[in-house]
A and B are shown apart, each in its own frame.
Chain A
Amino acid sequence: SQQGEEDPQALSIQEGENATMNCSYKTSINNLQWYRQNSGRGLVHLILIRSNEREKHSGRLRVTLDTSKKSSSLLITASRAADTASYFCAPGQGGSEKLVFGKGTKLTVNP
């Protein structure tokens, strides 16, 4: 298992703007997941992208994966105050291996 590194550490935007956060990792992966954590709560799974996929959409979320650069990005379009949360990526090998999380990106969406 390996830890992803999210960038930036903090991001503050206005409601309606798009938010982009990035994740880098070190070794080859089978998939990469993004999770959201609202203040004081448990993490909630947002989206999983497999190593043979380059882009995936889910509602206002768009995830890209570039395995040659060992990086992923999460784009939230038309952000809302309710999107205020910390976002974590988790690169994975699949199977029963443990997931390791980084420090996350703290997103603040100002109304």
Chain B
Amino acid sequence: NAGVTQTPKFQVLKTGQSMTLQCAQDMNHEYMSWYRQDPGMGLRLIHYSVGAGITDQGEVPNGYNVSRSTTEDFPLRLLSAAPSQTSVYFCATRGHSTDTQYFGPGTRLTVL
């Protein structure tokens, strides 16, 4: 039981490049979300999903796309990376019958 996994752990991109941050969970949780955390800041919600096929925007969705084709996976896509997207990205999940969120270990992204 791996819980919530995120890949890659670290990534360096050049401005304008695209990439996908992966998030997978094996807890059969319906709810998944993506946060970004910048130095001295809290976590800001980017996108979230309440189940396969359903996604919605959080506080800071611009520049990011998501899709949820399966319960297990919730990838976050950066179509054209910008230096302002340099951050640590966390994926989190929650089951239908619990309010507790489980977080992945994070992906540290640097955009040059």
Q: How far is the CA of A3 from the CA of B42 in the complex (A)?
A: 10
Partner of A43, one of B56, B94, B96, B101: B101
B54-92 near A? 1/0 per residue, CB < 8 Å? 001011000000000000000000000000000010101
Q: How far is the CA of A102 from the CA of B35 in the complex (A)?
A: 12
B99 touches A103 (CB 8 A): no
Mostly, the B contact residues are strand
A41 touches B105 (CB 8 A): yes
How many residues of B are in contact with the other chain, CB < 8 A? 29
A42 touches B42 (CB 8 A): no
Q: How far is the CA of A37 from the CA of B56 in the complex (A)?
A: 26
B59 touches A42 (CB 8 A): no
Partner of B106, one of A40, A94, A99: A40
CB distance from B11 to the nearest CB of A (A): 15
CB distance from B34 to the nearest CB of A (A): 11
With A42-B105, A44-B103 already in contact, the answer to whether A98 and B33 are too (CB < 8 A) is yes
